[in-house]
Amino acid sequence: MKHYQIVIIGGGTAGITVAAQLKRKDKNLAIAIIEPSEKHYYQPAWTLVGAGTFDFKDTEREEADYIPKGVEWIKGKATAIDPKQNKVSTEKSGDVSYDYLVVAPGLVMAPELLPGLSEAMDKKVVCSNYTDPEHTWEVLKNFKGGNAVFTQPTTPIKCGGAPQKIMYLAEEFFRKAGVREKTNVIFATPGTVIFGVPDFAKTLNKIIKDRDIIFKPFYAPVRIDAENQDIYFKYIKPDSVHSFDEAGMKIGEEQLGNNEIKIHFDMLHLAPPQAAPKFIQESDISLKEGPGKGWVDVDIHTLQHLRFPNIFALGDVAHLPTAKTGAAIRKQAPVLVGNLLQLIRENKVGEEAYSGYSSCPLVTGYSKMVLAEFKYDNVRDSDPLISKFVDTSKEQYSMWLLKKYGLPFMYWNLMLRGKA
């Protein structure tokens, strides 16, 4: 059995960033990354791919080009973690043992959790930027009017703002294509508000009002009938019974009793349900009950495992009460690296603390963006430098340029190299 000082599960944003930062701090560390994929994707740009304003090929690079020098790449999937034996099982390379483990495999799409979705996914008028943004663009171009429904599941998802970003872009595209007047743009979400941080919600509420977007909160999707192009929702507002309003009549909602609603769609974009990988859910390192069931059980500030002190986790798989984004990883990685290195050197975790920072670059149209930055408890947390020059809670052309050009450059050249 091969042994490493540090094993990192996952060669995505989190795993590569941590490996690169560790090697920059101490080039003598013996590190291995377990990762099956030959390709590395810049997924934040998939929103723009879905709207026809970014080339999918430009979001893809060779994984091999980003494995830091001196780090061993174990190609294949991790299949089990035994934290008591300090061991990870892999698909092709047997078991590997570690002194310290960093868990960062990301999450997985779980369309099977929404009945009817697996059969409908990325076919005809059902699309998702999470899985096939090029199909989303085809759907938008072929759309001729009717109900354009945008929704998201009740599970945690990566980039919670993505389901509405494509809606804003689609709405503008429909205007350019001359079909907006015969289109109902509908955002149906299990959430209670358009966005959790009040400053940004104020801006977004004005946008949806000005652009005549129909907002349906407390709508949890429960099943899809792709053949008839109907989606069914459960109205989940506590102690409330669903009642029809003017917008509901306009879009042809049907009440089916017991707070179930049927909406016909002429196009449907959704974030599929998402979950922690099965080997994480089945491992002792995940929570076995409560709201964090299945996700990795870490201290929300130090990112150290709460039961196995030589294990850390970050990124989408960690049970942290903040949005699962690449921006969150950018702030989590140096905290984890600092704490892990101090644990190695002094047998105690360092003083580094993660405050829950995440950001959601909310693209609200072609050439407009609101940069929503926040930390734990939905407290606004804007970058001090950017906010000197620009109010990021308002739609800005400069923020659009940041999204389309600045952030991809920073990702490939700085973040994955351990420099940002």
- The per-residue pLDDT for range 164-215, each reduced to its tens digit, is 999 999 999 999 999 999 999 999 999 999 999 999 999 999 999 999 999 9
CA gap 238, 261 in Å, rounded: 16
At 390 the pLDDT is: 85
Average the pLDDT over each of 9-23, 49-63, 234-248, 281-295 and give the range with the smallest value: 234-248
Residue 73 has pLDDT above 90, yes or no: yes
Picking from 59, 68, 102, 23, the residue whose alpha carbon sits closest to that of residue 317 is 102
Q: List the catalytic residues.
A: 159, 360
- The per-residue pLDDT for range 74-120, each reduced to its tens digit, is 999 999 999 999 999 999 999 999 999 999 999 999 999 999 999 99
β-strands 108-109, 274-275: how paired? antiparallel
CA gap 403, 53 in Å, rounded: 12
Question: Where is pLDDT greater, at 389 or 53?
Answer: 53
Residue 231 has pLDDT above 90, yes or no: yes
Domains present along the chain, CATH in parentheses: 2-107+276-355+408-417 (3.50.50.60), 111-273 (3.50.50.60)
- The per-residue pLDDT for range 362-381, each reduced to its tens digit, is 999 999 999 999 999 999 99
CA gap 357, 403 in Å, rounded: 18
At 146 the pLDDT is: 98
- The per-residue pLDDT for range 383-401, each reduced to its tens digit, is 777 777 889 999 999 999 9
